[in-house]
Structure 1
Amino acid sequence: MPKLLKNILQSAFFLGIGVLLIWWALRPLTPEQRTDIKNAIFNANYWPIIPAFIIGVFSHLSRAIRWKLLMQPLGYKPRTSSTFYAVMIGYLANLAVPRLGEIARCGILARYEKIPADKLIGTMIAERAVDLICLIIVMFVSVLVQIDIIGAFFSTKIWTPLSNSIMNANGAQLVFKLGIAAVVIFVIYLLLKRFARSKAAIKLKALLRGVMEGILSIGRMKNKWLFLLHTLLIWVLYFSMLYAGFFCMEETNDLGPKACLALLSFGSIAMIITPGGIGAYPILVQQTLLLYNINETSGYAFGWIVWGAQTLLTFVLGIYSLLGLTLRKKQETVTA
C-alpha cells in the first residue's frame, strides 16, 4: 500500500473515531439541550482565552527548551527557535494523524540542525516517558486530594472494570500470547545474529544504538535540575491555562483548583485517545464536571470551548512555525 494512501486512511480512521464520539455524545440530547449548548458557546466570555493563549505559548516554549536540554549530552546545541518550530509543527501534524507529530518534529530538527534523527527519536521517547510519569502523578494527586469525588469515580469507572477484565482473562490465552511474543523476539535475535554483517542489520543496529543513546541522554545531563524545573513549569502552565478557561462561563466561574486538577488529568487522557482530542475531550470534560454539579449542557459547552481554544492555538503556532522555517531557509539560501 502506498505510504500516502496509508496516511490518508489512518487519518480518516482516527478522525472517524472523533466524529463517532461527537455523534454518540449528541445522540441522547434533546433539541432543547442542543440549543442550550449552542447558546452557552455563543454567549461565553472569550476574553479569558487571551491570557490562556499567552500561557499556552510559554508552555510550548518551555517544552522546546526542555527538549533542547536532552540533546546537550549528545553534543548538539540546536537553536531554541528550531526546537520550538519543530515542536509546534509536530503538534500540528498530530491533529491529522496521531503520533505522526513525533516523527515530523524529529525529521524537521534533523534537517535544519543536522542532528541524527535516530538520536532525536531517543530523546523524544525519553521526553514522552517523563510526561507519562507526570500525568500519573497528576492523576494520583487529583485522586488523593479529593478522594470522596474523584476517588469514587476512578474506582467505579476505571479501576473496577480494569481489574475485573484482568481477573476474568483466560489464563491459557495469556500464556499463548506471551509465548508468541517470546518466539518472535527469539526469531528476531536469531536473524540479527545470522545476518549480523549484512547492510540491513548494520543499519538497524546503528538505529537502535542511536535511539538508546538519545533515551539515556536524560541520565547524562549536567542541568538535571533545569530539566526538572521546565518539566514542572510545563504542567503548571497547563494547569494555569485550563484554570483561566473557567472564567469563560458563569457555571464554571466558581470551580476551584481541585476541579481544574481533575480536568487536567482526564483531559490529558482524551488528547491521547483521538487526534487532538476531537470528540473525546468534550465528553470526558463533561463527565468530569458532572462530579462538581455542572449540568450536562454546560459541561459539554465548556469542553468544546477549551478544546477549540487549544486547537486554534496549535493551528496558529503550527502555521507560524512553518512560515518561520520557510523564511529562514530563504534567508540562508540568499546568504550562502
Structure 2
Amino acid sequence: MSVEDRKAAGEGRSARRAGRRAWGRDAPDGRSGGPSKSRPRGWVLASAAVLVAGLTAFPAVVPNTVGNLGSLLETFLPWTGLAVPVLLGLALLRRSALAAVSLVLPAVVWAVVFGGRVLPADRGAAGDLTVLQHNVGEENPDHEGTALALVRAGADLVALEELTPAVRPVYENALASGHPHRAVAGTVGLWSRYPLTDSRPVDIRPADVGPDWNRGLRVTARTPHGDVAVYVAHLPSIRIRPPDGFGSGRRDESAAKLGAAVASEKLDRVILLGDLNGTLDDRGLSPLTSRLASTRRGFGFSWPAALPLARIDHVMTRTAIPVAAWTLPATGSDHLPLIARVDL
C-alpha cells in the first residue's frame, strides 16, 4: 500500500469515528496523556426531561414553604408540556440521540395526566340543568353587552361576581324576563329560572378583612328535579410579587372556610359556581376539590380573556354529575364565561 493510500484509509477511519461521536458521545478528553474519557452527549438535556416528567407527575414534591412555589407550579401545570418541543429542538441542535429518546418520558407522563383534557367538551351532552358562571369584571367597559351575552347563553342558573352596586341594575334588567328569581350578597349574585329560597351570605372572609367584604352566597334552588343548594363564591385574588412569591395565603384561607360551609351543608345535592382564583390542580383548593367533583374534559382556560392561561372559574358539584363545561366567547370582562351542564 502506498503512503497516499495509507493516509486516505486513516482519514476515512477518523471520519467514521467523528460521525459516531456526532450522535453518540462527546469528544474524548486526552489531557495529560492519560486515558481518554467520554460521556453521553446530551446528558444535561436528558436530565431536564426526567425532571419535567417528575414535576408533571408529582408536583406535590415542590413545597409551599418558600413563595408558595408548589401552588405556582400546579396553577400552570398543563403548560409543562411545552418543555417537550423545546427540549426536542435543543436535542436536535445538540445532535444527541440520548436527549431525543429521553423525551418519550415527559411526553408519556403529560399524556397520562392531561390527555383526557385534550378532548373538547361534549357540548351536546344532556343534563338536567344548564348553569353559567362569570366574573363580569369591575373594570368592564361594556356591561350592557356582557349582560346580553349571558341572556343569549340560555342557562337556567346564572352566577355573577364583581357585581358592584353601580352595575347591578344592568344585569337585573337584562336577566329579569328569563330569570325572575335572584339572590345577591355583597358583590356576588345568582339569577334563576326557578324559585330561590333560604338565601344567606356565606362568611369566607380572610382574618384580616373587614365585615364589609362579602363574596359568598348560599341559596336553595327549587328545580323541577328537586332542591339543590347553590353556592356562589369569589375567592381572594392571587398576586405574584417579590419577596412573597405566589401570594395565595388569603385565597387558601377563604377556600378552607368555603370548604367547611359545603361540608356542613344539609342538602345532599350541591352546586358551587365561582371565580376561585385557582385551578383544580392547585393544592390550595383542596378543601373544595376533596369534597366536590368537576368535569376534567377540556382545559377550559378562562383567564385572562385576552390569552387564557388558567382555568380559575369553576362549576363543581356534590351528589350530581357535571356532564360538560366549556367557555363562551369573550365579553368585556377579563374572564371568559363558563357554562356547564349538570345531571342531577
TM-score range with shorter-chain normalisation? under 0.3
The structure whose RCO (Cα within 8 Å, separation 6+) is larger is: 1
Q: Which has the higher strand share?
A: 2
Q: Which has the higher helix share?
A: 1
Q: Structure 2 length as normaliser, TM-score?
A: 0.24
Q: Structure 1 length as normaliser, TM-score?
A: 0.24
Q: Which has the larger radius of gyration?
A: 2
